[in-house]
Each structure stands twice: as structure tokens, then as C-alpha cells.
Amino acid sequence: MNFVLRRTITSLLFGVAVLFSNSFAQDINFTASVEDRTVSVDQQFRLELVVTASGNINPKNLKVPDLNKNFLILSGPNQSTSMQIINGAMSSTVSYTYILQARNTGKAVIGSASIEISGKEFTTAPIEMTISNAGGKARQQQTTASNGEKVNIGDNLFLRATVDRARVYQGEQITITYKIYTRLRITNYSINKLPTMTGFWGEDFSMPPQISLSNETINGKQYQVGILKKTALFPTQNGKLEINPMEITCQVQVQRQRRSDDIFDQFFNDPFFGAAQTTNIDIKSSSIHIDVLPLPAHNIPPSFKGAVGKFALTIDLNKRTVKTNEPLTLKATISGAGNVKVLEAPNLSLPQDFEKYEPKVSENIDRSGEKISGTKTFEWLIVPRYPGEKRIPPVEFTYFDAAQRRYITLRSNEYNVMVEKGSAEASSAVSGLTKEDVKLLNEDIRFIKTEPGKFLQRDEEIVSPVLFGIISGIPLIAFLSLLFYKRKEVLDSADVVKFRSRRALKLAEKRLKDARLLLSSQQGDAYYTEISRAMWQYVSDKLAIDRAELSIDNVTQKLQEKNISPELLLQIKECLELCEFARFAPGSSSVEEKKKLYGIASNTIIAAEKELVK
């Protein structure tokens, strides 16, 4: 009888469980969405796969379609999870975010994605995309050269902004990186417009003074890639936030228009062996959209003041025994990764007979890694006014851990301080002091002088008239000398050609010195760049040739006009060609080969200086 009853109850429970499981499965949704189904080839957009369900879920075995066929995957998958309880009903959301960019124009389809939840597979509907040329890089990157010719660089130069995640909590760090991709010869660049980041607090990472280039292949084309800017962003508000584009101008060396319209004829033939010129090309990155989630609104500890990241708390009290009206120092140090700069001081609870002063704040921020980290220290001066055994309660600091999606409270130990009664003199002397007076407790006493010192009579001369006249004339002589020197300097600087010629050797020696420092390092590109700049800077200043008109033909013509020897002319021309070849095809040169190039450039400049100054 008991066996039959137990079996019946078991069957009923199993049936209820199956019904509950089925009803729960019906509340699961798996969807795919994009911000806009019509985008341009240079436009970044977000693909979001979202699982929503009532109750707690544990999705696994996510399978996404082959995105690489039609798109570049710039970031992802970035996963985030959130839970919400409304009127006792719990709901969960798990999202997977990709940042994509289309490869080609036309129609493209993002296929179905699938995921497994509680042993059942769920799929999304495919998404049809339309990829257009409007707003693309080819249209944006047309410019007019200095001779009025139109230049179209296609996809051989562009600026890209990428983020490590597109869905974060408020206050959680996002890292945005701006990279330049080029197949052209860039001589210089300047930032025209920094990106506006409304709703973010930004901390720039430390970057090397010279851009380090690496090779990267995109769509079968090899680019030289350099990081221009890297910034850690901390959202200060929730919702959909936008990071506007960064705009830069690149100075690119090109050849004058040939009969062929081939882009390689214009850009990839060596400009120093033809009629070369420099043109400015404006490029910009795409906008970035960030989805910022609000921090959980339930069970917020009282000591939470907006800190998000991972932190540790250290409390230090300089002494445990003190006399009345003598100061104590309590120091709270918060260290870890996150937005250290905006951390607020934790609340400090003290006995009523303690007087507390505003804390001294110091910080040390490390911007060299992948995460902004560091320490922030708050140092309080506290003064006990009455004797006895006093208790300083624990100091609490709370931060939100985005990885664990919960608030974490750090708590220090409790401190007991024995306050002894000070001497009668000390007590009566300091009992009425103000906060400003406490700062003077450790200064020496200024005693009353018992001797008046030495006094002078009214009619006694301090300085003789002759000495006074000499001293008075010194400033006038110095002023006239300075005026004469500055006038001579202005007259010398007025002749721009002579001024550039005089400083040519000095600037070349400085660049060669910088190159010598890089000689034994592994920075081959930087070394060859300094050698090349030294040579071209020298001939530009010595021969008064604008940088936009610099070419081997122009240099040769100018040198012939100055009637220099054919040997020196050939030496300068060969040196310039050798520098450019080493700069743009460095290979794996040995230290001896680098030294040889350094010697050739140095000897060429010295020989040119001796003959051109005659």
C-alpha cells in the first residue's frame, strides 16, 4: 500500500515537473538584431544575439553563422548577463554582441544562430542586409592635390576605431583603440578633431613617442598598421551612448598625375625618382555605439559611492596611545583596477569627542597596461579632546564587481585607542585652539629678543655716491646690450633662406645623434627613418626647397645651379636613394650595415657643408 502511494506521488510530481518545464521553455526567446539593415561598406554596426527567459537560465553551445564570408569581425562575441526581479517574478537576459563591418557592396545575409538551453535548441531568424557605397571610404577619401588634380585613394588608407566590448555596466571600463591602416607613404599626420564622448569619463593610455607599425592583412591586402590613440572610457550614465568619429589629416607623398588612372601609378611608384609632391588627405573613423546597463538597484550597501572595478582596502592608524589634544593620523588606501581618479573617500565614523579634519588626498594612476589601475590615499588628521579608552569603528568601502555582477563591501578592523590626559600646561594651552591653530603645534616657540640690535644714524650714508652711480648704470648698460643683440638677431632671422641654411647642419647633426641612439636597438624602422629625415631635412634647408617639392630631381637641379663638383653631386644623390631604400625596405639589416649607412650619411653631409659654404 505504501509502495503504491509512493509511486503515485512520484508520478504526480514528475508530471508537474514536466508541465513546469514546458511552460518555462515557452517563455524562452532567442533573437538576433542589428541597428540598421542598410549600411555602407565603411560603417561599423552591431549584431546582437539576445536570450530572454523567465527564471534563471544557463545557455550553452552557441553556434553563429559564418560571418567572415561577408563581414569583418572587429569585436566579439562580448557576453553580458543581467537578472531582474519585478513583483517577485525573476527574468534573465544573456546577450552576445559583435561589432561588424561589411566587406563588399550588395546584398548580404546573416544566417541563423542557434543555442542550447535545458537540452533544447533555439534558433534565430536570418537577417538580410543591404550594403551600399554611400558614405564609404572611397567617397570620403577623395581629395585635391596642390596642383589641383583629383586623387582617389580607395581603401589604401583608412582610420578604424574598435572597442573591446559594446555592452557594459555604468562605470565599467571600455577600451577604445584608434588604428591607422595604410598602404601609402605617409610623411606626417595631425589630429583635426578628437572624438566627443558625451556620457563618458576618459583616461588616455600612455603611448610611445613614435608610432610602432605592424603588418596586418585585410581582404587579401597587406597594410601597415599603427595605433594613434588608446583611451579607457568609463560611462557616467546608462542607456545608448555614442562615440563620435576622430578626424585626422595625413600628408601623403604622391606622384603627379600620369596618363594611367591606376591608383598604384599615383601612389606606389617611388616619388623620389619622379616628379613627387605632398598632398593632404582627410580621413575619419566611424561612430561607435555603446549599450550601458544601469547598476542593480536592489540591495545597494550604504557605503557604495559609485566605484566599479576590482579594489582592495588598507587602513593604517599611526599610533594606538595618545594624549589629549595630540593629533592622530588615520590613512585609508584604495588600490585596484577601475576609475581610480573619481573614487570618493569612505565614510569615517569617530567618537563624538574626536575632532576630524578634511582628508589629504593623493593618487598614483598606472596607464601603461590594458586596464587603468592605481592607488588613491585619504589621510585624516583626528584629535581626541577627552581622555579614556576610545573605539574607532571599522571603515567600509563598497564597489560593484562587473564580472561577478554584485556589490562587494570591504571592511577594516576595529581600532581601540587609549587617550591619556595631557599635562596641565598642555591642556590649558590647547583646549581653546581652532583647527587652524592645530597646524602650529609642532613649530618652535619664537622668544622675545632681549637685545635691540644695531641701529644707524639718520645722516649716515649707507652707500657712497660713486658706488651708487655705478650700480645704477649697470641695468641701463645691460638693457642697451640686450637691445642691440635682439636687433641683430631679428635682422639675421629676417633672411629666411640664410637662416635655414645656417641651421641646416645643426638640425642634421641632431637627427643623426638621435639615429645613433637607435643604432643598437631593435627599432630598425625608427633608425632608418631618422637617417632619411636627417638627409632630406639638410638638403631642404641648405638648398631652400619646400618640403612639398622635395625630390631627387629638384635636389640635383639645385645643386647643379650652385656649381658643385660632379663627385659630390653623385654622392648626395646616391646617399638619398640609399636612405629611402633602407627606410621602406629595411629587411633584416645587421648592426654593421646600419653603421655603414650612418657613416655614408654623416660623411655626405660633412662633404656638402664644406663645399656649399664656400
Region 20-49: mean pLDDT is 72
Look at residue 150 in the predicted model and tell me its pLDDT: 57
Nearest to 134 by CA among 105, 99, 159: 105
Q: How many Å from the N-terminal Cα to the C-terminal Cα in the chain? A: 124
Q: Per-residue pLDDT tens for 526-540?
A: 777 787 888 888 778
- Residue 544 domain-assigned (yes or no): yes
Could you list the residue range(s) of the whole structural domain that residue 245 is in? Answer: 136-294
- Do 59 and 202 lie in one domain? The reply is no
- Do 319 and 217 lie in one domain? The reply is no
- Do 109 and 164 lie in one domain? The reply is no
- Residue 170 domain-assigned (yes or no): yes
Query: How far apart (Å, rounded) are the C-alpha atoms in residues 250 and 184?
Result: 10
Q: Per-residue pLDDT tens for 547-565?
A: 667 777 777 777 777 777 7
Q: Per-residue pLDDT tens for 204-225?
A: 888 887 788 888 887 777 888 9
- Residue 484 domain-assigned (yes or no): no
Q: Per-residue pLDDT tens for 280-319?
A: 888 888 888 889 999 998 889 999 999 999 999 999 998 8
Look at residue 25 in the predicted model and tell me its pLDDT: 43
Q: For residue 365, what are the β-bridge partners?
A: 374
- Residue 300 domain-assigned (yes or no): no
- Do 422 and 338 lie in one domain? The reply is yes
Look at residue 28 in the predicted model and tell me its pLDDT: 83
- Check residues 234 and 499 and name the one with the higher pLDDT: 234
Q: Is residue 110 over pLDDT 80?
A: yes
- Do 270 and 153 lie in one domain? The reply is yes
Look at residue 282 in the predicted model and tell me its pLDDT: 85
| Number of domains making up the chain | 4
- Do 127 and 160 lie in one domain? The reply is no
Look at residue 406 in the predicted model and tell me its pLDDT: 92
- Which residue, 133, 161, 186, sits at the end of a domain? 133
Highest mean pLDDT among 14-23, 429-438, 512-521 belongs to 512-521
Q: Give the chain's length.
A: 614
- Helix count (H) and strand count (E) of the chain? 11, 33
Residue that has been written with the C-alpha cell 554611400 in this structure: 134
- Check residues 464 and 570 and name the one with the higher pLDDT: 570
Q: Is residue 145 over pLDDT 80?
A: no
- Do 260 and 143 lie in one domain? The reply is yes
Check which CATH number belongs to the domain holding 392 and give it: 2.60.40
- Do 331 and 228 lie in one domain? The reply is no
- Which residue, 400, 416, 437, sits at the end of a domain? 437
- Do 352 and 433 lie in one domain? The reply is yes
Look at residue 482 in the predicted model and tell me its pLDDT: 83
- Do 323 and 408 lie in one domain? The reply is yes
Lowest model confidence (mean pLDDT) among 73-82, 258-267, 349-358, 571-580: 258-267
CA–CA distances in Å: residue 71 to residues 77, 105, 224: 14, 11, 21
Q: Per-residue pLDDT tens for 511-523?
A: 777 777 777 666 6
Check which CATH number belongs to the domain holding 537 and give it: 1.20.120
- Check residues 27 and 429 and name the one with the higher pLDDT: 27
**Model confidence at 86, in pLDDT bands (50, 70, 90)?**
low
- Do 119 and 149 lie in one domain? The reply is no
Does pTM top 0.75 for this prediction? no
Check which CATH number belongs to the domain holding 104 and give it: 2.60.40.740
- Do 65 and 107 lie in one domain? The reply is yes
Look at residue 272 in the predicted model and tell me its pLDDT: 42
Query: How far apart (Å, rounded) are the C-alpha atoms in residues 378 and 540?
Result: 56
Query: How far apart (Å, rounded) are the C-alpha atoms in residues 457 and 316?
Result: 61
> Taking the C-alpha atoms of 19, 25, 26 and 30 in order, what is their torsion angle to the nearest 10 degrees?
180
Q: Are 140 and 250 in contact (CB under 8 A)?
A: no
**Model confidence at 600, in pLDDT bands (50, 70, 90)?**
confident
- Residue 12 domain-assigned (yes or no): no
- Residue 473 domain-assigned (yes or no): no
Query: How far apart (Å, rounded) are the C-alpha atoms in residues 493 and 567?
Result: 33
Q: Are 44 and 286 in contact (CB under 8 A)?
A: yes
Phi, psi of 399 (to 5 degrees): -135, 160
Look at residue 85 in the predicted model and tell me its pLDDT: 65
- Residue 2 domain-assigned (yes or no): no
- Which residue, 393, 415, 437, sits at the end of a domain? 437
- Residue 471 domain-assigned (yes or no): no
Q: Is residue 445 over pLDDT 70?
A: no
